């Protein structure tokens, strides 16, 4: 029961709801997710099962692709349609003006996270402070928009496809686009279409998972743990070296220095995630896996 489930989260569920459903269905305690989706959002939610929970950080760091629907002329406190309306303005925007503004949000940009987010201030989630009517100053963060494409246009609404770096808030992007257009905006729908190598076309619904469990073949829906580590170089260990790594010992690997690598045994099984230690010119097992 070790692997990554590409789960298609339905609207209305929190990411915690999805994890709880999967945990209950497969009867496995070690279940987590990599990259939160708001209840309003749908699409790819990577659910890590068993030892896969140990590579969640690598899944979270991957690029994302979203399809976002945005309504001009109305702003809300949450930057989406689930919040309270904070203002309305007339929309005098045409397609050329919209395209010109979208172009300004391509590349590396600075983005202020929304108050209604899970980021913490002095140990307390921002959204809890926001619900208490408290607003705190948030530092702008650099994110990268690799692609921002207009997919539908029916003003005052439109849809954009966003290819972005990890940590990008699409709600904030919608809000900032509205500010740049001078009329305000909020997000009305969001679908995560891809997270790293995982796409919406391959995502599994709750109904499909339940059906696979009844047929006792649900493990076939899991992706291998090392799918999360494909960006790292790989090395195959000799038997004696593999044994040393399994016992947490440092080794010298026949490969050029890098920050980390995947180590496999002669049977192709993932043994460990290794990190390079330049001061000792050796490799240390950071995460050791015991895979069947």
Q: What is the pLDDT of residues 51-82, one digit of tens each?
A: 999 999 999 999 999 999 999 999 999 999 99
Contact between 225 and 3 (Cβ < 8 Å): yes
223, 48 Cβ separation under 8 angstroms: no
Give pLDDT tens digits for 7-34: 999 999 999 999 999 999 999 999 999 9
Q: What is this structure's pTM?
A: 0.91
**210-227 tens-digit pLDDT:** 999 999 999 999 999 999
CA dihedral 85, 90, 94, 97 (to 10 degrees): -70
Positions annotated as catalytic residues are 38
What's the pLDDT at 56?
A: 95
Average pLDDT, the chain: 93
Sign for the pseudo-dihedral over CA of 163, 168, 171, 177: negative
Secondary structure (H, E, C), 90-108:
CCCCCHHHHHHHHHHCCEE
Predicted confidence at residue 24, as pLDDT, reads 94
Instruction: Give the mean pLDDT of 174-197.
Output: 97
Phi, psi of 242 (to 5 degrees): -60, -40
* Alpha carbon distance 151, 67 (integer Å): 9
């Amino acid at each position: 029961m070790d692997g990554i489930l590409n789960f298609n989260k339905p609207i209305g569920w929190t990411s915690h709801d999805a994890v709880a459903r999967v945990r209950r269905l497969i009867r496995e305690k070690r279940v987590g997710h990599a990259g939160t989706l708001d209840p309003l959002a749908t699409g790819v939610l990577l659910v890590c099962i068993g030892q896969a929970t140990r590579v969640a950080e690598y899944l979270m760091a991957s690029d994302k692709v979203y399809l976002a629907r945005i309504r001009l002329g109305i702003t809300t406190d949450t930057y989406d349609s689930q919040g309270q309306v904070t203002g309305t303005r007339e929309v005098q925007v045409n397609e050329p003006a919209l395209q010109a503004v979208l172009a300004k949000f391509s590349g590396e940009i600075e983005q202020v996270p929304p108050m209604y987010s899970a980021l913490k201030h002095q140990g307390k989630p921002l959204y809890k402070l926001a619900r208490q009517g408290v607003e705190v100053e948030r530092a702008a963060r650099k994110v990268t928009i690799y692609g921002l494409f207009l997919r539908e246009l029916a003003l005052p609404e439109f849809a954009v496809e966003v290819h972005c770096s990890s940590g990008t808030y699409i709600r904030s992007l919608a809000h900032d686009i509205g500010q740049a257009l001078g009329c305000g905006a909020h997000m009305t729908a969001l679908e995560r279409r891809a997270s790293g190598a995982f796409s919406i076309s391959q995502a599994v619904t709750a109904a499909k998972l339940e059906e696979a469990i009844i047929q006792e073949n649900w493990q076939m829906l899991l992706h291998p743990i090392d799918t999360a580590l494909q960006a790292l170089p790989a090395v195959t260990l000799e038997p004696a070296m593999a044994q040393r790594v399994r016992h947490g010992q440092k080794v010298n690997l026949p490969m050029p220095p890098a920050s980390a690598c995947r180590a496999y045994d002669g049977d192709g099984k993932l043994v460990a995630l290794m990190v390079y230690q330049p001061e000792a010119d050796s490799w240390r097992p950071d995460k050791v896996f015991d895979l069947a």
